[in-house]
């Protein structure tokens, strides 16, 4: 087995069980290793530290599979890891009865570059690292064995695969998709899931609990949902008794899906829903000029900062939308604002939102720190604790 030798002092992160080894930490590779091959990671002094997947094209030069030096990285290893991940979700009371669940969350489950989401009897798999790609067959077999699912559909079309030197790959790798489309029920609301062409794996499961909270806060309120995508927050607001819901997105296909989702739920009063295809930034300015006000506003934009290099520009965009959000709130109104940008940390995001409230002249206080759903654990890849998605702020 090839050996990856680290530069002096670069082993400290591994002692903290961080699973990434960056190119700048590597002194040399001894032996031959192809993309995805398992290598032994050694300190500069020659001490064996971990077994990891080698990725010569990526700045993350290796991702740790195991810190147990005796571990054999083989088919059985991945079947055990997949089964353990599935079992962890089964043991979470809040996930019982949910038709949409994240089964594997990458590094947090000891499987770097592996995402697996279950929608009813279909599992959608996304492989984003060279190591995960190499062990595709074992991971698929593990998912089928652990879940008994009828189909596994691969959605390995994320842009980050290019950083690993990998081509996009999609399609069924086990069984076949059901005829007539796929849908799930989430907190009493039915939503279609487009596993072939939707964002990510077809749905944003991490916002499940925050959508429910939106419904719980919506009764009797006039709601504005920005970047609404397929209407998850909008439909939960309607289910919660919102007086009206205005949903804005720039994507016509996303809004068409949102309308279909509303039609799937005849128990909801569709007359209270309004859909608007527009650039959200322009739409917010227009609403301000019209003098519109709302009691509950949801801001769930796409990723503005994919990396720290984009943080400054992204911070301005987050500041702008939150500024407009605060200005459009009625007294006592609530702003639920989110970020999915890896380049914007928790402290920076809170500062951005606080700055927007000050500039808007709003007397705002944080009601809730909004975390990802419990099937999206942090694990040991980053500091332990809840994965903060956003904030819910109430104005005076």
Annotated catalytic residues are: 340
What integer pLDDT is reported at residue 267 of this predicted model?
A: 98
In this structure, are 227 and 369 located in the same domain? yes
In this structure, are 326 and 343 located in the same domain? yes
Structure confidence by residue, pLDDT tens digits, 369-393: 998 999 998 755 443 344 678 999 9
In this structure, are 47 and 126 located in the same domain? no
Question: Domain range holding 80?
Answer: 75-182
Binned at pLDDT 50, 70 and 90, residue 314 comes out as confident
Report the number of distinct structural domains present in the chain: 3
Q: What percent of the chain has pLDDT over 90?
A: 87
| Alpha helix stretches (DSSP H) within 221-290 | 232-239, 252-263, 280-290
Strands 364-371 and 388-395: antiparallel
In this structure, are 223 and 177 located in the same domain? no
E-strand spans in the chain?
A: 3-6, 20-22, 26-30, 38-42, 48-54, 60-66, 100-105, 114-119, 122-127, 151-156, 169-174, 183-186, 189-192, 222-226, 244-249, 273-277, 294-299, 329-338, 364-371, 388-395
Domain ends where: 66, 92, 108? 66
Structure confidence by residue, pLDDT tens digits, 100-141: 999 999 999 999 999 999 999 999 999 999 999 999 999 999
Q: Is residue 195 part of a domain?
A: no
Tell me how far apart the alpha carbons of residues 235 and 217 are, in angstroms, rounded to a whole number. Answer: 13
In this structure, are 223 and 354 located in the same domain? yes
What mean pLDDT comes out for the span 352-368? 95
The pTM of this model reads 0.92
What integer pLDDT is reported at residue 356 of this predicted model?
A: 95
In this structure, are 239 and 363 located in the same domain? yes
In this structure, are 178 and 270 located in the same domain? no
In this structure, are 9 and 131 located in the same domain? no
Could you tell me if 64 and 21 are in contact, meaning their C-beta atoms sit under 8 angstroms apart? yes
**What are the residues whose beta carbons fall under 8 Å from the beta carbon of 86, sequence distance 6 or more?**
103, 104, 143, 146, 147
In this structure, are 293 and 353 located in the same domain? yes
Q: Is residue 110 part of a domain?
A: yes
In this structure, are 110 and 169 located in the same domain? yes
Q: Is residue 199 part of a domain?
A: no
Q: Is residue 113 part of a domain?
A: yes
Q: Is residue 379 part of a domain?
A: yes
What integer pLDDT is reported at residue 387 of this predicted model?
A: 63
What integer pLDDT is reported at residue 170 of this predicted model?
A: 97
E-strand spans in 80-166?
A: 100-105, 114-119, 122-127, 151-156
In this structure, are 320 and 389 located in the same domain? yes
Q: Is residue 198 part of a domain?
A: no
Q: Is residue 131 part of a domain?
A: yes
In this structure, are 218 and 306 located in the same domain? yes
Q: Is residue 38 part of a domain?
A: yes
**For residue 111, what is the domain's CATH number?**
3.30.750.80
- Mean of pLDDT over the chain: 94
Tell me how far apart the alpha carbons of residues 287 and 279 are, in angstroms, rounded to a whole number. Answer: 12
Could you tell me if 14 and 64 are in contact, meaning their C-beta atoms sit under 8 angstroms apart? yes
Structure confidence by residue, pLDDT tens digits, 202-237: 999 999 999 999 999 999 999 999 999 999 999 999
Structure confidence by residue, pLDDT tens digits, 8-30: 999 999 999 999 999 999 999 99
């Amino acid at each position: 087995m090839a050996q990856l030798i680290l530069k002096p002092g670069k082993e400290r992160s591994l002692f903290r069980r961080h699973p990434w080894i960056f190119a700048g930490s590597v002194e040399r590779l001894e032996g031959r290793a192809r993309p995805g091959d398992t290598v032994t990671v050694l300190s500069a002094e020659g001490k064996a530290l971990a077994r990891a997947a080698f990725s010569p094209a990526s700045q993350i030069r290796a991702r740790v599979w195991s810190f147990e030096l005796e571990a054999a990285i083989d088919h059985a290893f991945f079947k055990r890891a997949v089964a353990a991940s599935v079992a962890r979700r089964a043991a979470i009371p809040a996930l019982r009865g949910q038709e949409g669940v994240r089964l594997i969350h990458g590094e947090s489950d000891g499987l770097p570059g592996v995402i697996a989401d279950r929608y009813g009897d279909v599992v959608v798999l996304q492989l984003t690292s060279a190591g995960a790609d190499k062990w595709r067959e074992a991971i698929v077999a593990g998912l089928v064995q652990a879940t008994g699912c009828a189909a596994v559909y691969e959605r390995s079309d994320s842009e980050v695969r290019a950083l690993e030197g990998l081509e996009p790959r999609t399609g069924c790798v086990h069984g076949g998709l059901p005829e007539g489309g796929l849908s799930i029920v989430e907190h009493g609301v039915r939503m279609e899931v487009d596993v072939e062409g939707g964002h990510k794996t077809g749905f944003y499961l991490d916002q499940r609990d925050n959508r429910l909270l939106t419904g719980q806060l919506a009764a009797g309120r006039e709601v504005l949902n920005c970047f609404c995508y397929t209407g998850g927050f909008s439909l939960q607001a309607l289910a919660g008794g919102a007086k009206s819901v205005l949903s804005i997105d720039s994507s016509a296909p996303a809004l068409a899906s949102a309308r279909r989702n509303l039609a799937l739920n005849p128990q909801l009063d569709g007359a209270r829903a309004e859909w608007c295809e527009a650039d959200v930034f322009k739409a917010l300015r227009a609403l301000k000029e019209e003098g519109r006000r709302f009691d509950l506003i949801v801001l769930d934009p796409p990723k503005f900062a994919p990396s720290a290099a984009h943080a400054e520009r992204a911070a301005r965009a987050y500041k702008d939308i939150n500024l407009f959000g605060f200005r459009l709130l009625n007294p006592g109104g609530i702003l639920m604002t989110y970020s999915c940008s890896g380049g914007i940390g928790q402290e920076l995001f809170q500062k951005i939102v606080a700055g927007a409230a000050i500039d808007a002249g709003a007397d705002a206080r944080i009601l809730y720190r909004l975390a990802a759903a419990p099937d999206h654990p942090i694990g040991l890849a980053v500091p332990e604790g809840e994965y903060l998605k956003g904030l819910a702020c109430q104005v005076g």
